[in-house]
Structure 1
Amino acid sequence: MAMASLVPLVVVLFLSAGSPSPIESCATGDLQSLLEFKSSLRDSNAGVLSTWTGSDCCSKWYGVSCNAATGRVEGVNLHGAAADLGISEVSPAQRTISGEISPAICRLDMLSTFVLAYWRNISGSIPPCLTSLAKLRILDLVGNQIAGRIPPDLGRLSRLTVIALADNQISGQIPPSISKLAALMHLDLSNNRITGSIPASIGDLKMLSRALLGGNQISGSIPPSIGYMDRLSDLDLSGNRVSGQIPTTLGKTRVLSSLYLDGNSLSGFLPSTLLGSHVSILNLSRNLLEDEGQDSFSPDGMKLAMSGHRLFFSSMDKSLDATAWTARSSSRPVHRPRLARSITIVGWMDED
């Protein structure tokens, strides 16, 4: 595997979308919208918004990028963990911006990238009007205190490739309209307060490669349609309230390599299709899975030991040379073993 393929999807998109443009003045309407957006935020020590003065918002305002020909704002990229911030001597762990997301951001109708991530103290809700930004491709609000619901008509944003809302206080259900986002590649809703079930039509997201939904209060069963997502490589449903059986279709995905189902209420048997699949990391701990009593249940002579309907045996190929990486918007590291046919099953016994 080439090293370039290990670069997280979101980082690649950030690099391509955040390049500065040579134009020096943005459209008057965009300038006013940015100033109104700024007025709803308080930059106590990061120094980012101190650059937002004057009319040269396309060349001198940190994180703002424009179309070189039209002067229209196409990107607002304010990432609190950015190593190249270079504006303040405050370390990334101490940088703070507070306030709320002003609906004025919705008047930037050419906006394709909106990143307001890892500032810890940004609260309020996601402005429903964001769904009017028809050109939006990247929405990253990770690492704040944003509450409320995901806009129900998010599916209107047909160009979205990245939705990263992890590590907030977002509640409500995953809107069914999300299944209409045919271009979506990266979905991270982990570590929020999301309830309800996973939309049955989520399998329509044929371009999706990472679905990170762990650390919520999601209930219901795993939709079988997930097994028909040909590009899905990482699926995390851990730490939820998911019940029912593991669908056999999960073992038929073409490139799924890591599957985290731990900390749920899954029952029944582990489909044999999973252990004959491309999955290299499988975490099933803290569930209600049953033991079929089949010593040949796993490949290469590895026995899946179960007791009291709790998975407690951890077995791995000692020859694995794993390379770990973490996406910028993900709180869970994903390990990609170089030996694609090896499988690691992680689990432990609950002491009752």
Structure 2
Amino acid sequence: MNNFHGSLGSLTFPTSSSLTALMLNGNQLEGPLPPSLINCTDLEILDIGNNMINDTFPYSLEDLENLRVIILRSNRFHGPINNSSATFPFPKLRILDLSHNQFTGPLPINYFNNFVAMMPSSMDNVGFRYMFNSEFEYYSVTLSIKGGEMEMERILTIFTTIDLSDNLFRGPIPEVIGKLQSLKLLNFSHNSLTGDIPSSLSNLTQLEALDLSYKQLVGNIPMQLTSLTFLSVLNLSYNQLVGPIPQGKQFDTFLNDSFIGNLGLCGSTLSKKCSNEEPNQPTSVILEENNASSWFDWKIALMGYGCGLVLGISIGYIVFSTGKPQWFVRLIEREGPKKVRRLNRGSRGRRN
């Protein structure tokens, strides 16, 4: 946090340097990293964030077996990270921040496979302490934590984070990321990643913040993620996710902001509800309504039949009690001879 400027590559470190921390964050340094940095075999912290360093990924750092913290954020690093030649790179690395650069290509699967300090088997060998120098002065770094930048005045040895946000990484999120079960923070946002959210992320049982926003992820949100009981910050916004949002445990605490920008998602936290969440009438109510409707129809029919019968009997009684129904008699007398004549004609035709 000064105004130092010039080329960082001009620095020269002697052989077998005892340097344990190189912290140049927040200056105006340029150029590539100095090749002689590999002489610092005791180096634990490398923080050169927020400068103007223009370089590809420094693979030479793989030989520094004591590195615990690498912060290259907010520089001009570029190119892919897939040319690793080391068998076991970065065995003690616990904090990796490459955010706000221009790294390209797929995510560095080889590194994820070998970050053994982020795997649960290493937790037994890591004491709960803060990192400090030979004069017992605590180291501090600035990281992006849970959506905002925060200065960690003391770095816990058990704290683990991977931040690769704001780069040009492409391709899927590898399943192998699920091996890093001691991760606290994971941020892959603002890249060109595609494919599904791997269900193996549910293995990250210590995870407190997960940011997969502003990418091109598709498919459903895995139900297995509800098992992440320490998860307090989740951001899956602005992808192409579809289907219902999982319910239960921590997922019941996440608001609409965690999922906006996914037009295919539905759920109780969104304005778009899932079809199985829409209120339906119970079957008993439907049957009751159907029965009531049927009873009502029969009632109307019976009422009409009863009224007609009573009316007909009443009219018949009045007519026949007042005298001979002349119109009925005339009708019978007129129609009778006609029918007889038709029958007679028919009889003669059969005889011929």
Please indicate, yes or no, whether the TM-score normalized by the shorter chain is above 0.5.
Answer: yes
1:305 to 268, 271, 285: 271
Residue 73 of structure 1: SS of its match in structure 2?
coil
1:149 to 77, 80, 84: 80
Match status 1:97 vs 2:29: yes
| C-alpha displacement of 1:112 | 1.2
| C-alpha displacement of 1:53 | 11
Q: Structure 1: which amino acid aligns with 2:74?
A: G
Query: In the alignment, what sits opposite 1:129?
Result: 60
| C-alpha displacement of 1:280 | 6.8
Query: What 5-or-longer segments of structure 2 have no aligned partner?
Result: 119-159, 276-352
CA contact (8 A) 1:160 1:181 kept: yes
The 2-side partners of 1:152 and 1:222 are apart by 26
Residue 22 of structure 2: SS of its match in structure 1?
strand
1:261 to 212, 231, 236: 236
Q: Structure 2: which amino acid aligns with 1:163?
A: L
Number of positions where the alignment pairs a residue of Structure 1 with one of Structure 2 = 229
CA contact (8 A) 1:250 1:274 kept: no
Query: In the alignment, what sits opposite 1:251?
Result: 226
The 2-side partners of 1:170 and 1:107 are apart by 26
Query: In the alignment, what sits opposite 1:159?
Result: 92
CA contact (8 A) 1:180 1:204 kept: no
Of structures 1 and 2, the one scoring higher in RCO (CA 8 A, sep 6+) is 1
CA, structure 1 residues 195+54, in 2 after alignment: closer, same or farther (shift >3 Å)?
A: closer
Matches within 5 A, 1:284-303: 284-291=259-266, 298=268
The 1-side partners of 2:255 and 2:66 are apart by 36
TM-score (norm 1): 0.58
Match status 1:118 vs 2:57: no
| C-alpha displacement of 1:195 | 0.7
Query: What 5-or-longer segments of structure 1 have no aligned partner?
Result: 1-44, 59-69, 81-94, 292-296, 310-352
Matches within 5 A, 1:198-217: 198-217=173-192
The 2-side partners of 1:73 and 1:193 are apart by 33
The 1-side partners of 2:71 and 2:216 are apart by 26
The 2-side partners of 1:224 and 1:102 are apart by 41
Residue 222 of structure 1: SS of its match in structure 2?
coil
Query: In the alignment, what sits opposite 1:236?
Result: 211
The 2-side partners of 1:75 and 1:275 are apart by 38
Counting aligned pairs with the same residue, the percent is: 27
Q: Structure 2: which amino acid aligns with 1:79?
A: N
CA contact (8 A) 1:131 1:151 kept: no
The 1-side partners of 2:182 and 2:256 are apart by 21
Instruction: Indicate the RMSD between aligned Cα atoms, in angstroms.
Output: 3.2
Matches within 5 A, 1:73-112: 73-80=19-26, 95-112=27-44
The 2-side partners of 1:264 and 1:236 are apart by 12
Structure 1 residues 283-319: Cα deviation after superposition (integer angstroms, max 9, x where no partner)? 111113244xxxxx64xxxx5321899xxxxxxxxxx
Q: Structure 1: which amino acid aligns with 2:4?
A: G
The 1-side partners of 2:199 and 2:117 are apart by 21
Residue 53 of structure 2: SS of its match in structure 1?
strand
CA contact (8 A) 2:196 2:217 kept: yes
The 2-side partners of 1:97 and 1:285 are apart by 39
The 1-side partners of 2:204 and 2:255 are apart by 17
| C-alpha displacement of 1:227 | 1.1
| C-alpha displacement of 1:180 | 2.9
1:171 to 101, 104, 110: 104
| C-alpha displacement of 1:107 | 2.8
The 2-side partners of 1:202 and 1:176 are apart by 8
The 2-side partners of 1:166 and 1:235 are apart by 15
| C-alpha displacement of 1:275 | 6.1
Residue 196 of structure 1: SS of its match in structure 2?
strand
Structure 1 residues 258-291: Cα deviation after superposition (integer angstroms, max 9, x where no partner)? 1111111111221224665565785111113244
| C-alpha displacement of 1:96 | 1.6
CA contact (8 A) 1:182 1:206 kept: no
The 2-side partners of 1:143 and 1:166 are apart by 6
| C-alpha displacement of 1:215 | 0.6
| C-alpha displacement of 1:181 | 1.2
Structure 1 residues 160-181: Cα deviation after superposition (integer angstroms, max 9, x where no partner)? 0100011111111112121431
Structure 1 or 2: more helix by fraction: 2
Structure 1 residues 111-160: Cα deviation after superposition (integer angstroms, max 9, x where no partner)? 111111101x2112112221111111000001111101225548621100
CA, structure 1 residues 102+163, in 2 after alignment: closer, same or farther (shift >3 Å)?
A: same
Structure (1 or 2) with the larger CA radius of gyration: 2
The 1-side partners of 2:96 and 2:55 are apart by 18
CA contact (8 A) 2:231 2:250 kept: no
